[in-house]
Amino acid sequence: MPLIIHKSISKQSDSSLVPKNASLFYVTVSPTYLSEPYELQDDMVLLGMIQQLKQESKEFEHLKGTTSTFILKKAHNSDCLHISKEDWNTGFRDWGLILPDYSLKIRLLDFVKSNLRTPLYPNKELEAHE
């Protein structure tokens, strides 16, 4: 069972704060749901399935159901899940989604540590509320 996150996309203005292999674009979630219970660290890779990509009233169906890679950057009061550069280049940028004016709903499935995938919340689907 995954962790469900439905948030607006944000853009990091300082590229020095962006993890390696990550885009400037990210969604946030409270550490209560992610880095704290799973003891995750910066630059960890997480895998999630995109449920919805929406800009105002327009939905972009081309990514629905696809698996995307996110890279964690812990901030003061939130976990920032940066869209990987590769996924952002092909799934977002090439479709003109270059401004942080859309929302993303993802099912965060696994995190990767030492080349091992570990499922998030394997016994219960959990929705992050903030």
CB 72 within 8 Å of CB 46: yes
What is the enclosing helix (H) or strand (E) of 112? strand 103-113
Query: What's residue 128's pLDDT?
Result: 92
- The 10s digit of each residue's pLDDT in 55-113 is 888 888 888 999 999 999 999 899 999 999 999 998 888 888 877 788 999 999 999 99
CA dist list (Å): 53 to 35, 64, 69, 75, 101: 24, 7, 15, 24, 11
Question: Using 50, 70 and 90 to split pLDDT, how confident is the model at 123?
Answer: very high
- The 10s digit of each residue's pLDDT in 43-71 is 999 999 999 999 888 888 888 999 999 99
Domains of the chain (ranges, CATH numbers): 3-115 (2.40.30)
pTM of the model: 0.93
CB 80 within 8 Å of CB 28: yes
